[in-house]
Structure 1
Amino acid sequence: MNLDLRLPLYQRLRDMLAAAVAEGQWRPGDAIPSEADLSKRHGVAIGTVRKAVDQLVAEGVLDRQQGRGTFVKRTRFNASMFRFFRFQSETGERRIPVSRILRREAMPAPSAVASALRIRPREGVIHLVRLRLIDDLPLLAEDIWLPRARFEPLLAVDPGEFGDLLYPLYEERCEQVVVSAEETLTVETADTMKARLLRLQPHAPLIVIERLAYDLARQPLEWRRSRGAADKFRYHVEIR
């Protein structure tokens, strides 16, 4: 990689470590070398290594675990859905919804999708329509958009093999790792198709969670809109 020599040494080391994660040298869940090992490998002081690692921990790329070491953080974006919707069985047990891919298509990017993913208008994208259910009851209807150039292998995967969580699939089949995301909540009413998918009355109120997910270089990897019935929506925040 090309390093900007004008940057402080710890910042350049931070960029080198981030590149190692982005290139898959260390995968989510892997332990990185100790600070002493990194100091010896890169010929810098341990204080410089610690400052670079501190920055990656603050950015959510690495995770320090007391007594165990420092690991590449495995993000748990599914937890955000638990913040907003009641994903529970009839007995009150919290569960990850079952996912069902209803449609997968390769197509030119609509203008709004191209803008969100920062790709050229009409550039190739993959569009997924996914339904998430608990006990066969639909909770979320999702439209998911991916840059085709980065996710081409997904077109060869049987939709029945996608599993309930997509980000591990992105990593395993496409070597694309989501490390951060931005979410926006809005409200709309259900059109005919969404009402049918979610088994609601037409024009029922929906909560929409719009998520833009990024790789380590802050390039958009995925744009999705998840829609669920407003009466299953919850919002919780602790303020201190």
Structure 2
Amino acid sequence: MTFFKHGRDKRLPLYQQVRDELLENISAGIWLPEKPIPTESELTKSYGVAIGTIRKAVDTLVNDGLLYRSQGRGTFVRRPDFNASLFRFFRQMSSDGRFVMPKSQLLSKTMKQPSKHIADALNLNTRDHAICLERLRFLEERVVLTEEIWLPESLFSRLIDLDLSEFGNLLYPFYEQECGQLIASARETLTIQSANTRIAGALNIAENSPVAVIERVAYGYDKTPLEYRISHGAAETFCYQIEIT
């Protein structure tokens, strides 16, 4: 006999039903990033299924990158490093050759209707409102990135009344702290465009200069889109490198 908290599609294999149940615990914040989940024996008792079923359900979440195993310590919820992802494209060395994580300056926070493109990315209606953040990223005193960030009002309403000074340098831990929204994965698209007047002015480059553009849609553990972000950086600071083996 199985003991599920939520109704499941019994047409699915049992391990997949368990996998979906485990994912609910991650999505709801019951199991937190970098914290161990219950042991396989504990999960077997909780769900009333064979240990092989539990192991296969956990394996699927490990393969999906949502959990990871640590020898001798247990299985943990993974917290992705999104800044490492973004800045693999942009040189971020200081003048003396040290690796530096760019600092942030939040310029504005407004509530407005998104374009159809952004609304579609966030699964919103164009009549819905969203929070729009405009931000600069600095390396030593130079602006290296401009960012426009959109968040669904229904999930991030707590941010509306906060002062700009209360936002941290890293937004994803801030979302988790203030709104209980955990970012688990993201999809990025890279293109090269010409800088318009606003982007050129922010990056201190000539208008129509080439800029690298990275669009990101970030998702929760349940694949709900939580953030749309578009970042622009001067092409001269852009570097794409990949190892093929």
Q: Calculate the TM-score normalised by the size of structure 2.
A: 0.95
Deviations 1:50-92 (A, max 9, x none): 1000000111111111221111101111111221001121122
Q: Does 1:9 align with 2:8?
A: no
Gaps of 5+ in 2: 1-5
CA contact (8 A) 1:100 1:160 kept: no
**1:161 offset after TM fit, Å?**
2.0
Q: Does 1:40 align with 2:45?
A: yes
Equivalent AA in structure 2 for residue 3 of structure 1: R
Q: Which moved more, 1:104-113 or 1:203-212?
A: 104-113
Equivalent in the alignment of 1:134: 139
Aligned-partner Cα distance in 1 for 2:134–2:188: 19
Aligned-partner Cα distance in 2 for 1:2–1:236: 46
SS of the residue 2:229 aligns to: strand
Deviations 1:72-123 (A, max 9, x none): 1011111112210011211221121111111110112222211111111120
Equivalent in the alignment of 2:3: none
Q: Which moved more, 1:150-159 or 1:138-147?
A: 150-159
Aligned match for 1:216, one of 211, 221, 224: 221
SS of the residue 1:238 aligns to: coil
Aligned match for 1:187, one of 185, 192, 197: 192
Aligned match for 2:171, one of 166, 182, 195: 166
Alignment of 1:67-106 (within 5 A): 67-106=72-111
**1:16 offset after TM fit, Å?**
0.7
Aligned-partner Cα distance in 1 for 2:162–2:74: 36
Q: Structure 2 vs 1, CA of residues 109 and 82 (structure 1 numbering), >3 Å: closer, same or farther?
A: closer
Q: Does 1:119 align with 2:119?
A: no
Deviations 1:140-199 (A, max 9, x none): 001111111111111122212211111111111111111111111001111111111111
Q: Does 1:155 align with 2:160?
A: yes
Gaps of 5+ in 1: none
Aligned-partner Cα distance in 1 for 2:168–2:100: 15
Equivalent in the alignment of 1:234: 239
Taking only the aligned residue pairs, the percentage that are identical comes to 47
Aligned-partner Cα distance in 1 for 2:76–2:114: 36
Aligned-partner Cα distance in 2 for 1:2–1:157: 38
Aligned match for 1:52, one of 33, 57, 69: 57
SS of the residue 1:234 aligns to: coil
Structure 1 ranges of 4+ moved more than 4 A: none
State the Cα RMSD in Å: 1.1
